[in-house]
Amino acid sequence: MAEIRFPLPDVGEGLTEAEIVQWRVSPGDRVELDQVFVEIETAKSLVELPSAFDGVVAELLVDEGATVEVGTPILVIQTDASSGMSSAGSGGAAAAAVVAEAAPEPAAPAVPAPPAVAEETGGAVLVGHGSSGPARSRRRRHPAPGGAHEHLAAVPAPPAVPPAQEAAASGTAGGAAAAAAAAAGAAAAPAAPAPRFAEPSVPVLAKPPIRKLAKDLGVDLSRVTGTGPIGDITRDDVIREASQASVFRNIQTPDLPADRETRIPVKGVRKAIAQAMVSSAFSAPHVSVFVDVDASRTMEYIKRLKASPDYAGVKVSPLLIMAKAIIWAVRRNPTVNAQWTDDEIIVKHFVNLGIAAATPRGLIVPNVKEAQAMSLVELATALEQLTLTAREGKTQPAEMQGGTITVTNIGVFGMDTGTPILNPGEVGIVALGTIKQKPWVVDGEVRPRFVTTIGGSFDHRVVDGDVASRFLADVASIIEEPALLLE
């Protein structure tokens, strides 16, 4: 047997420390190759660490909630000396692991792993240490005939086992007698056909964001009638149901805690946010501009997209049109999609669009890679997936690196406008305010229109005032008339 002291690895983002959030194993548990055994929080995100060894957990060296430096041993695994980390793909983890030979034991004949297994796993690879080998494909889904959700309405029941086979399988004399009696009964009377389908309760069709909204508002989805294209429950359905209930249920104010104060340690994501905001605010001279926009045509456009079969199952929101408008305006004003260095300005001819997302662990800014090459449907899907992953706390460090320009949707919090701080490394950020009906002058007459305020902050070292103004005016023109995207 050998004891392996597993060090905290560098997960490939150049960080020096991380917090142990949750252990997935306990002393005495057996861990297998590539099994996730701990969840850590870096300065950017939550990361799951897979085991690079087969063995038994001997000791957990670090408590949950503790912050440790990269290279510090966090776990002791007992494993066979002949087994352990595969030489192919182990990378720096093999060199970092400290192996201490324990008392010798009688050697058992080594059993080589089947070639198929070795080929599938491709070696034990830690996050940030070399290649992970060929990706494993998911189980293929077979579409149900008649629609995307028809398979939810009828669940096939397990095949009925004839009494004769069940009795014969028992292997007892009583079972044989029962089988004979069952066979005689079957000959006397025809057997009733087995039911083809079970009779489950009607499923609730709702996307994860809708389910979360219903939970926050205290709405029972089983009591809501869906008005979506396939009978699914929409955001409007949930809000309508919530408005029919007591509004006071959702505005209860909790009592003050008994303790006079709460102390929150500055670490992890919160520490990284503070450092990034201070660095950005005091190193890049910000200039901000604002513009009010009639977004009525955008709201009509969104309504038509929601009714289109091409967008069934895809979240369509004003943020989608705003994202497309920013990508379009970047082509006309490329210097807002740049990076400042002390020696040069690097103008990016691609758009990795950052989306500022509020999560339970703080504000993070993942970005949609190569957004300029996406269709509207592809962009909508990417935005939805990015948002869900961020709210679940599963955003990976690579998804927050390489951004070129950012959009923040403060309208979801009821805010009209704001002065956002630049994401470090970028020179432009756009804020979308709330969209609501206001009096607006149209052809000399005051009419109710959907109006929003768009704001933007820019690094004045790179973006001059005229460029910032033209860029924001271009974004506003798309919000006012989405048909310009057809150019």
- Give the pLDDT score at 460: 95
Rounded to the nearest 10 degrees, how much is the dihedral formed by the CA atoms of 172, 177, 179, 183?
170
Residues 396-419 pLDDT 10s: 888 888 999 999 999 988 899 999
How many alpha carbons fall within 13 Å on the CB side of residue 357? 29
CATH number of the domain within which 212 lies: 4.10.320.10
Region 151-175 average pLDDT: 46
Burial of 306 by CB count in 10 Å (0-12 exposed, 13-18 middle, 19+ buried)?
A: middle
- Give the pLDDT score at 286: 93
Q: Kindly give the pairing relationship between strand 436-442 and strand 445-459.
A: antiparallel
Phi and psi at residue 72, to the nearest 5° = -75, 130
- Give the pLDDT score at 274: 85
- Give the pLDDT score at 395: 84
- Give the pLDDT score at 471: 97
Region 361-386 average pLDDT: 91
Give every CB contact of residue 163 below 8 A, 6+ residues apart in sequence: 178, 179, 182
Question: By percentage, how much of the chain surpasses pLDDT 90?
Answer: 31
Phi and psi at residue 408, to the nearest 5° = -125, 130
Residues 468-477 pLDDT 10s: 999 999 999 9
Region 424-446 average pLDDT: 93
Spatial distance between the Cα atoms of 40 and 67, rounded to a whole number of angstroms: 9
- State yes or no: pLDDT of 111 exceeds 60: no
Region 431-449 average pLDDT: 93
- Give the pLDDT score at 377: 93
Which of 393 and 26 is assigned the larger pLDDT? 26
Mean pLDDT of the chain: 76
Phi and psi at residue 29, to the nearest 5° = -75, 150
- Give the pLDDT score at 426: 95
Give every CB contact of residue 193 below 8 A, 6+ residues apart in sequence: none
Q: What is the number of other CB atoms lying within 10 angstroms of the CB of residue 436?
A: 13
Total number of domains in the chain: 3
Active site residue 460: yes
CATH number of the domain within which 419 lies: 3.30.559.10
- State yes or no: pLDDT of 170 exceeds 90: no
- State yes or no: pLDDT of 166 exceeds 60: no
- Give the pLDDT score at 252: 59
- State yes or no: pLDDT of 80 exceeds 80: no
Q: Kindly give the pairing relationship between strand 30-31 and strand 338-340.
A: unpaired
Q: Which of 235, 274, 295, 297 is nearest to 432 (CA)?
A: 295
pLDDT tier for residue 202 given thresholds of 50, 70 and 90: low
Region 151-159 average pLDDT: 46
Do residues 342 and 413 both lie within one domain?
A: yes
Do residues 419 and 467 both lie within one domain?
A: yes
Residue 166, domain member (yes or no): no
Comparing 89-98, 173-182, 216-225, 449-458, the range with the smallest average pLDDT is: 89-98
Comparing 26-40, 113-127, 202-216, 339-353, the range with the smallest average pLDDT is: 113-127
Residue 83, domain member (yes or no): yes
pLDDT tier for residue 465 given thresholds of 50, 70 and 90: very high
- Give the pLDDT score at 5: 87
Cβ–Cβ under 8 Å, residues 210 and 234: yes
Do residues 319 and 444 both lie within one domain?
A: yes
Residue 173, domain member (yes or no): no
Buried b (16+ CB within 10 A) or exposed e, 440-463: eeeeeeeeebbbbbbbbbbbeebb
- Give the pLDDT score at 297: 95
Do residues 236 and 332 both lie within one domain?
A: no
- State yes or no: pLDDT of 150 exceeds 50: no
Buried b (16+ CB within 10 A) or exposed e, 340-360: beeeeeeebeebbbbbbbebe
Do residues 318 and 222 both lie within one domain?
A: no
Q: Domain containing 13: what range?
A: 2-104+112-121
Cβ–Cβ under 8 Å, residues 82 and 99: no
Helix, coil or strand: residue 55 = strand
- Give the pLDDT score at 201: 52
Residue 170, domain member (yes or no): no
Residues 45-58 pLDDT 10s: 677 888 877 888 88
Residue 188, domain member (yes or no): no
Q: Which of 85, 81, 31, 36 is nearest to 56 (CA)?
A: 31
Spatial distance between the Cα atoms of 201 and 206, rounded to a whole number of angstroms: 15
Do residues 402 and 306 both lie within one domain?
A: yes
Give Cα separations from 191 to 26, 123, 166, 186 (angstroms): 53, 54, 16, 6
Residues 329-367 pLDDT 10s: 999 999 999 999 988 999 999 999 999 988 777 788 999
pLDDT tier for residue 169 given thresholds of 50, 70 and 90: very low
- Give the pLDDT score at 364: 86
Q: Kindly give the pairing relationship between strand 67-69 and strand 17-23.
A: antiparallel
DSSP conformation class of 197:
B
Do residues 222 and 357 both lie within one domain?
A: no
Q: 154 is written with which tokens?
A: 């009828």
Do residues 241 and 332 both lie within one domain?
A: no
- State yes or no: pLDDT of 443 exceeds 70: yes
Region 104-132 average pLDDT: 43
- State yes or no: pLDDT of 309 exceeds 70: yes
